[in-house]
Amino acid sequence: MMSASEPGRRRILLVEPYPAVSRGLTAWLTRQAQLEVIGVAATRDECLQWLHRPHPDLIIMEPAIRDCDGLKLVWLFSKFHHQTPILVFSVLDEKEYAPRLFRSGACEFLPKSASPEKLLSTVKTVLSGQARSDPVASGNARTFSEAPRDLLSDRELELFRFLGKGYTTQHIAEVMHLSEYTVHAYRLRIKRKLRLGDLSHLMQQAVLWENHLS
């Protein structure tokens, strides 16, 4: 969906898969002075269409879109609209996903549990060019460790979390549709990337990490 832009307003593209949320956000943002939602993309195909349209001033994005790699989508928007800041407004876990989203091209992350006032202030901050971009850019921003979420691939992190939940090799193989041999290979690769001494150390770190996220 695309609408004509009004002069003097900052143009916002809303990437939001949930219709009720997109309607509410569109109505609320448009009521704010100097802001205008010029389009809503709710699916992967609609997002891809927006890659070739005129640059908005801001993209407010929910990466959790069905049948779509949200990180890759953020990366694509950052490449095709490289001058447009991306504010991730999402149900995703900030501790787990924010570092990856920043590396993919997002400049700010805000959970959907945030108040409307916080969203508005964040929108203004991003539009002014003062977003954190780096998760440690501002003194009051939360910092994120480099491991394991920043060292492992998405698939490796998924398996690592299953280890932390106490899943057996057979159970992990079933839920991830892998052979048990491949699960063992993943564990060795994760152990090497995290520089852990042995399997017991890997299991201990996985449990600690999973408890940290919960």
Structure confidence at residue 3 (pLDDT): 55
Structure confidence at residue 210 (pLDDT): 74
Structure confidence at residue 130 (pLDDT): 74
Tens digits of per-residue pLDDT, 21-57?
Answer: 999 999 999 899 889 999 999 998 999 899 889 889 9
Tens digits of per-residue pLDDT, 143-177?
Answer: 334 456 678 888 898 999 899 889 999 999 999 99
Pairing between strand 58-61 and 86-90?
parallel
- pTM above 0.85? no
- Is the preceding omega at residue 148 within 30 degrees of 0, hence cis? yes
Q: Where are the domains of the chain?
A: 10-127, 154-213
Q: Which CATH architecture has domain 154-213?
A: Orthogonal Bundle (1.10)
Q: Which residue has the higher pLDDT, 213 or 135?
A: 213
- Please check whether the two domains, 10-127 and 154-213, share a CATH topology: no
Which helix (H) or strand (E) segment holds residue 110: the answer is strand 108-111
Range 10-127 has CATH code 3.40.50.2300:
yes
Cβ atoms of 123 and 87 closer than 8 Å: yes
Q: Alpha-carbon distance 157 to 186, whole Å?
A: 10
Q: What share of the chain is helix, strand, coil (3-state, %, to 5)?
A: 45, 15, 40
Cβ atoms of 10 and 58 closer than 8 Å: yes
- Kindly report the average pLDDT of the chain as a whole number: 84
Residues 6 or more apart in contact with residue 151 via CB below 8 angstroms = 193, 194
